[in-house]
Amino acid sequence: MSEAPRTLRVVLHRANAAVHFVAETGAGGRVPIDGAPTMGGEGRGARPMELLLAALGGCSAIDVIGILGKQRQTVEDLTVAVEGERAPGEPSVFTRIHVHFTVRGPADPPAVARAIALSMDKYCSVARVLEQSAAITHSHELERVAAPVGESGQA
């Protein structure tokens, strides 16, 4: 039995006389969006293509934390840096994207590598969308810190 489609909704409201908007999400979030200065942008928000990179980083970060949590791996901090190269001309779609994860904590190195691979290669919906036009690669580093007494990388 297949799952029924889920519909998401975002509404944008113009916030000035130029190209600054505020997106309101169905979940209650508010995201400021602005265009490039060449289009009248004033630096009042993220640009739309930056938001695509942020969505990829956010999707994968949430996956990784969830997967490692289920494995009872302790993560003290997670930083995700996402860089994208765009095609020349219009539309200037992403052609290459690289995602770098920096995980801090006593988590097991193979568990970290596996969680990242599962997110990037299987679970992250944003990656599945973006891989239609861009080659997506990923890397990671683990900054190991000693687990508190009584722990060995597990929560």
Name the domain count of the chain. Answer: 2
Helical H segments across the chain, by residue range: 48-70, 109-118, 125-130
DSSP 3-state assignment of 90? coil
Shared-domain flag, residues 40 and 99: no
The pTM score is 0.90
Domain that holds residue 97: 48-143
Strand partners, 79: 102
Q: Where a domain ends, among 16, 31, 46?
A: 46
The whole-number average pLDDT for the span 135-150 is: 87
Q: How many CA within 13 A on the CB side of residue 23?
A: 15
pLDDT of 96-132, one tens digit each? 999 999 999 999 999 999 999 999 999 999 999 999 9
Dihedral over alpha carbons 122, 75, 66, 123 (to 10 degrees):
-10
- The yes-or-no verdict on residue 94 having pLDDT over 50 is yes
In a domain, 56, yes or no: yes
pLDDT of 46-93, one tens digit each? 999 999 999 999 999 999 999 999 999 999 999 999 999 999 999 999
In a domain, 61, yes or no: yes
Shared-domain flag, residues 84 and 14: no
| pLDDT over 70 percentage in the chain | 94
Q: Given this model, what pLDDT does residue 48 score?
A: 97
